[in-house]
Amino acid sequence: MGTRPVVLTARVTDAAGHTATASTVLAVGQPALLGWSPPNSTAGDLSAMLARFPSPPLVRLYSPAGAGLASWSGSLLTCAPRDATLVYSFKDRPATLDVAGWLSARPAAWTAPIYLCWAHEPEQGPSAGDPTPVEFQQGWRDLAAALAGHRRRREVRLLPVFTEYAARRSSTWWADFGQVAALPGVDAVGFDIYDTGYPAYRSPVERNDFALSTARRVGKSLVVAEWGIARKASDPDGTQCARAMRDNMTYLRRQPDVDAVSWFYRGDCNLDARTPERQAFVDLMG
């Protein structure tokens, strides 16, 4: 059971035509959302996913290095459902972008919150185009500062997203990257979680313990920004995988501090030809 921010706005007009507006934000409890990320963040792939799974509670999208921040009037975001929670990642350094202006330009028709992430999965290193630990920490301080005091700050939740398998296997991960989760202005903690490299499906506890403990270490909620389970060779019909998917979401929805989960519909996590798993996903998404 996570929470979602709900903005309540009251507008009053007196007899002379003067208008006053006031807003407040309430944290409303809800089971963790389950949505999806298209194979690629293009208008074509997004439209195809909306044809597969209309009215998703959550959509994850990203902009690659050099693309800046996606325009609200561009082909990608105009295709996105405005009432779905958006997890949006970008790669260019916050100090080089007008992040505050981007948030100011958000159309009023977008009613759901945004989880905003910079430098998603930073652990791959500069050779893969990722920032160094020092650059990563500074970039997150810059992003938090750019939005501090913004009049629409309540509409966005800052979300660093890490790589679960890399983080749990590195003795220096917290000092290098994880400490960003504790920064003032960071609202939630994200992880990408897969079962790749494990001979059997992990239990929900095994799969999520590191991510949950990290989020709880800093007193913030967890978002699983990418999730996927490839079918194992020992499970030719996919029934065990479908059960693992159901068990995982049941477990996460029992936690008091999990906001959302996004299935990455790509590669060996594409469910088009995996009937049991696809049905499980549809049932779980609701």
pLDDT, tens digit (0-9, with 9 covering 90-100), for 188-211: 999 999 998 899 999 999 999 999
188-194, strands of its sheet edge to edge: 156-158, 114-118, 85-90, 58-62, 33-37, 258-264, 221-228, 188-194, 161-163
| pLDDT tens per residue across span 75-101 | 999 999 999 999 999 999 999 999 999
CATH class of 31-285: alpha beta
Interstrand relation of 19-30 and 2-13 (parallel, antiparallel or unpaired): antiparallel
Q: What is the mean pLDDT of residues 14-25?
A: 57
The CA distance from 256 to 127, in Å, is: 38
Alpha-carbon distances of 14 from 10, 17, 273, rounded to whole Å: 13, 5, 60
Domain ranges of the chain: 31-285
pTM beyond 0.75: the answer is yes
According to the model, what pLDDT value does residue 232 have? 97
Task: Read off the pLDDT of each residue in 103-127 and give the average, rounded to a whole number.
Answer: 96
